[in-house]
């Protein structure tokens, strides 16, 4: 079949894409692209379609010419229109590109990491010969600006000088984007590979950092240059032809009518709460309360736009603080896998963008400034699981306030101003500064997060690793059993039944695939409202909390944020049962969860009473009083001894004042840790 490719395109478009072409002609030049599905072309003429993949440049040129030549019933010329091919048969990751793909049309699947500003790029430069006045055009085909060598006017033929006429030149909007492999495609620990993509005209300015896309285009290469000249190595980039959004949010998961029936049935199960709890990280033993909270985080409250323009977030932020080795990281990983657009990252992330975003001067846009998205942007509309949050960078620390509450991240640097969206729920884990958790020390200080940041979490769980025979042996049994089940599945000659039996303890009650659909259904369809009773219930709980704070003589710790948290959580709780009304049962549930968290964080470890000061300032009043008292004692004894104070004597006096020995030793130990007192020699103390 050696017929003229232009004619072939004409026939194809007339036959299969006539309506689309008319639509395009109708809205031209606002719309300039005719999208053609590769499979349609393939069905029409497989050989022709193959040729498009193998030799895309002439094929696409022919397609463009065909658009111009087709007789249209409307009086327009589709001069600047593009044929864009979508749904290519095979998609590649950025790390799968090889040299034999150069020059071919391919589809790349990935996550947008950075985008440059959209800027005009000269396509066709108009020059005027300054000698003879001849006006001519020079097409600009490469990234390097090409100037004329001599005047094309034969009568002149001189070598200029030439003047570039901007007003007569043709420009096109252009943008460079860099995509990387999606995190879920990365094999453990591998560095994501990136690929730069050039987008022009109506494709520029369409995608943002964090978007998951398929970019179709022609893979091209250019020679690297080093300081010593041209290198034998080449770099790759994609000359973009079309893009397809692939981003899947919870809301976008497809739910078939059969799925819907299963979901509705499931929601009527009176045990649904337990079932879902048992479906979250089943390989991890215990943590019922944490798993319950994680379930609520997945179902999420919903964002509300108020008439005055403010927006209240619906995403639930959760912080897990605790001793090392208690499966915090495991929980985070599990959730980030379960949630669409879930991202797992560490606070000390290696990229420049870190958790939030940054503007970087980038080689990809001729040294233009580009915005690079960090974890919270990449997880937009999903869940960002941030491990070792205590180790995050200073820049992130301040940007996080805005990111968590307003759910935007503003970048203003070197003239680049951008506001990125970070509408994700944050699930963070933090290890205590000194390795292990100190019960007498306020949480905020031990994890190196400011109270302002802490107050943005809806729930904070403190998980300690206290030895407890019963629990320890249960965990051990659980871990041994999961490992055993894993071993069995690798053995020959073991029947599936035996494996299933062994796996039983770590089997989720609801399969992850179904759970995702269930959550997606709830998030898409269920928007429950508070009933009057629940409003009263939450209000009185909140007012009570405030009162407890007001009774102590220090600032009130519980802010309106906690009330918003209660509302979000009860919305999630109601969604979990697919109910459109928030009931007292939901209210009770979330009050129980919030209460247990507040107690862990805000309880004075000495008196066991809820202490306002613990959250507000990070130190409980009684601890602060005792610390001050002991410091005074040390000073006193120092003066008496005209030097340093013997520990023994300090402890005795503390005991006289009603602080038992054990407690006093604790407080002294901590003061030493913070450098408030020093031990010049063994058994003696001094205030520096």
Q: Taking contact as CB under 6 A, which single stretch among the options 162-170, 221-229, 472-480, 558-566 is the one that binds ligand ADP?
A: 472-480
Which option in Mg ion, ligand ADP, none does residue 285 bind, with CB closer than 5 to 8 A by kind?
Answer: ligand ADP
Indicate the Cα dihedral angle 11, 15, 17, 21, nearest 10°. Answer: 70
Backbone angles phi, psi at 627, to 5 degrees: -60, -45
Widest CA span in the chain: 112
Q: Taking contact as CB under 6 A, which single stretch among the options 308-316, 353-361, 475-483, 622-630 is the one that binds ligand ADP?
A: 475-483
Backbone angles phi, psi at 267, to 5 degrees: -65, -20
Q: Do 220 and 238 form a contact (C-beta atoms < 8 A)? A: yes
Residue 475 within binding range of ligand ADP, rule CB under 6 A: yes
* Least distance between ligand ADP and beta carbon 404 (Å): 22
Count of residues touching ligand ADP (by CB under 6 A)? 13
For residue 109, the SS3 value is strand
Count of CB atoms situated within 10 Å of the CB of 583: 19
Q: Taking contact as CB under 6 A, which single stretch among the options 325-333, 490-498, 610-618, 654-662 is the one that binds ligand ADP?
A: 325-333
Q: Which of residues 271-290 bind ligand ADP (CB under 6 A)?
A: 284-286
Q: Which of residues 477-496 bind ligand ADP (CB under 6 A)?
A: 478-479
Residue 521 within binding range of ligand ADP, rule CB under 6 A: no
| Dist CA 536 CA 324 (whole Å) | 40
Helix, strand, coil percentages, rounded to 5, for the chain: 40, 25, 35
| Dist CA 670 CA 667 (whole Å) | 5
* Least distance between ligand ADP and beta carbon 474 (Å): 9
Which option in ligand ADP, Mg ion, none does residue 297 bind, with CB closer than 5 to 8 A by kind?
Answer: none
Task: Pick the closer one to Mg ion by CB: 386 or 612.
Answer: 386
| Dist CA 126 CA 136 (whole Å) | 6
Residue 329 within binding range of Mg ion, rule CB under 5 A: yes
The helix or strand, by DSSP H or E, that contains position 260, with its residue range, turns out to be helix 257-268
Considering only 178, 291, 313, 328, the residue that binds ligand ADP (CB under 6 A) is: 328
Among the listed residues 635, 613, 627, the one whose alpha carbon sits nearest the alpha carbon of residue 666: 627
Task: Pick the closer one to ligand ADP by CB: 83 or 321.
Answer: 321
For 475-526, give the secondary structure using H, E and C: HHHHHHHHHHHHHHCCCCCCCHHHHHHHHHHHCCCCCHHHHHHHHHHHHHHC
Which option in Mg ion, ligand ADP, none does residue 475 bind, with CB closer than 5 to 8 A by kind?
Answer: ligand ADP
| Dist CA 407 CA 425 (whole Å) | 9
Residue 327 within binding range of ligand ADP, rule CB under 6 A: yes
Among the listed residues 548, 545, 541, 549, the one whose alpha carbon sits nearest the alpha carbon of residue 591: 541
Q: Taking contact as CB under 5 A, which single stretch among the options 217-225, 305-313, 327-335, 478-486 is the one that binds Mg ion?
A: 327-335
* Least distance between ligand ADP and beta carbon 316 (Å): 21
| Dist CA 589 CA 288 (whole Å) | 13
Q: Which of residues 565-594 bind Mg ion (CB under 5 A)?
A: none
Which option in Mg ion, ligand ADP, none does residue 629 bind, with CB closer than 5 to 8 A by kind?
Answer: none
Residue 346 within binding range of Mg ion, rule CB under 5 A: no
Which option in ligand ADP, Mg ion, none does residue 451 bind, with CB closer than 5 to 8 A by kind?
Answer: none
| Dist CA 395 CA 347 (whole Å) | 12
Q: Taking contact as CB under 6 A, which single stretch among the options 188-196, 474-482, 605-613, 639-647 is the one that binds ligand ADP?
A: 474-482
Enumerate residues 6+ apart whose C-beta is below 8 A from 133: none
Q: Taking contact as CB under 5 A, which single stretch among the options 236-244, 285-293, 323-331, 468-476 is the one that binds Mg ion?
A: 323-331
Could you tell me the two tokens for 489?
Answer: 């599945």
Q: Mask 237-276, x = binds ligand ADP (CB under 6 A)?
A: ----------------------------------------
Which option in Mg ion, ligand ADP, none does residue 385 bind, with CB closer than 5 to 8 A by kind?
Answer: none
Which option in Mg ion, ligand ADP, none does residue 81 bind, with CB closer than 5 to 8 A by kind?
Answer: none
* Least distance between ligand ADP and beta carbon 469 (Å): 15
- What's the full length of the chain, in residues? 688
User: Which residues of this protein are in contact with Mg ion, per CB under 5 A?
Assistant: 329
User: Which residues of this protein are in contact with ligand ADP, per CB under 6 A?
Assistant: 284-286, 324-330, 475, 478-479
């Amino acid at each position: 079949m050696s017929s003229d490719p232009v004619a072939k395109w004409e026939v194809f478009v007339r036959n299969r894409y006539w309506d689309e072409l008319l639509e395009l002609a109708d809205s031209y030049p606002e719309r300039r692209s005719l999208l053609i599905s590769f499979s349609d072309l393939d069905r029409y003429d497989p050989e022709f379609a193959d040729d498009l993949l193998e030799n895309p440049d002439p094929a696409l040129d022919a397609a463009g010419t065909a658009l111009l030549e087709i007789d249209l019933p409307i009086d327009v010329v589709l001069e600047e229109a593009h044929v864009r091919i979508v749904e290519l048969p095979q998609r590649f990751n950025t790390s799968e590109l090889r040299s034999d793909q150069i020059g071919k049309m391919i589809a790349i699947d990935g996550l947008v990491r950075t985008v440059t500003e959209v800027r005009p790029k000269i396509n066709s430069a108009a020059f005027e010969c300054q000698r003879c006045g001849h006006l001519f055009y020079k097409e600009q085909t490469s990234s390097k600006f090409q100037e004329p060598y001599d005047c094309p006017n034969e009568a002149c033929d001189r070598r200029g000088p030439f003047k570039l006429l901007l007003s007569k030149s043709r420009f096109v909007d252009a943008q460079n984007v860099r995509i990387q492999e999606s995190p879920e495609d990365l094999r453990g620990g591998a560095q994501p590979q990136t690929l730069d993509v050039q987008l022009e005209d109506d494709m520029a300015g369409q995608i943002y950092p964090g978007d998951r896309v398929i970019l179709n285009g022609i893979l091209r290469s250019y020679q690297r240059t080093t300081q010593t000249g041209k290198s034998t190595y080449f770099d790759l980039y994609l000359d973009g032809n079309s893009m397809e959004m692939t981003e899947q949010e919870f809301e976008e998961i497809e739910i078939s009518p059969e799925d819907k029936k299963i979901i509705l049935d499931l929601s009527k199960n009176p045990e649904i709460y337990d079932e879902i709890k048992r479906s979250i990280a089943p390989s991890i033993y215990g943590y019922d309360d944490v798993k319950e909270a994680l379930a609520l985080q997945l179902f999420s409250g919903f964002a509300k736009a108020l008439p005055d323009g403010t927006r209240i977030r619906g995403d639930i932020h959760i912080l897990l603080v605790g001793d090392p080795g208690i499966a915090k990281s495991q929980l985070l990983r599990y959730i980030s896998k379960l949630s669409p657009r879930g991202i797992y990252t560490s606070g000390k992330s290696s990229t420049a963008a870190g958790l939030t975003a940054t503007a970087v001067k980038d080689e990809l846009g001729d040294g233009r400034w580009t915005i690079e998205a960090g974890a919270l942007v990449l997880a937009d509309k999903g869940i960002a699981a941030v491990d070792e949050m205590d180790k995050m960078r200073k820049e992130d620390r301040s940007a996080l306030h805005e990111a968590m509450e307003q759910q935007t991240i503003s970048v203003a640097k070197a003239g680049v101003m951008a506001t990125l969206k970070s509408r994700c729920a944050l699930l963070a884990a933090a290890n205590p500064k000194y390795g292990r958790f100190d019960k007498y020390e306020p949480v905020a200080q031990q994890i190196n997060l400011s109270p302002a940041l802490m107050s943005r979490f809806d729930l904070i769980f403190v998980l300690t690793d206290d030895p407890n025979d019963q629990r320890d042996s249960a965990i051990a049994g659980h871990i041994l059993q999961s490992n055993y089940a894993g071993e069995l599945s690798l053995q020959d000659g073991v029947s599936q039944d035996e494996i299933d039996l062994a796996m039983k303890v770590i089997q989720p009650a609801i399969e992850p695939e179904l759970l995702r659909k269930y959550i997606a259904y709830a998030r898409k369809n269920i928007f429950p409202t508070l009933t009057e009773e629940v409003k009263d219930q939450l209000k009185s709980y909140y007012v009570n909390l405030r009162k407890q704070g007001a009774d102590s003589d220090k600032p009130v710790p519980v802010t309106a944020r906690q009330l918003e948290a209660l509302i979000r959580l009860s919305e999630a709780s109601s969604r979990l049962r697919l109910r459109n009304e928030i009931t007292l049962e939901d209210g009770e549930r979330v009050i129980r969860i919030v209460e247990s968290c507040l107690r862990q964080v805000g309880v004075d470890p000495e008196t066991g009473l809820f202490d306002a000061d613990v959250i507000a300032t990070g130190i409980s009043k009684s601890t602060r009083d005792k610390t001050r008292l002991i410091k005074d004692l040390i000073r006193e004894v120092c003066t008496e001894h005209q030097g340093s104070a013997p520990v023994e004597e300090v402890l005795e006096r503390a005991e006289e004042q009603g602080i038992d020995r054990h407690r006093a030793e604790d407080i002294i130990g901590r003061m030493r840790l913070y450098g408030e007192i020093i031990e010049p020699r063994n058994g003696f103390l001094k205030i520096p």
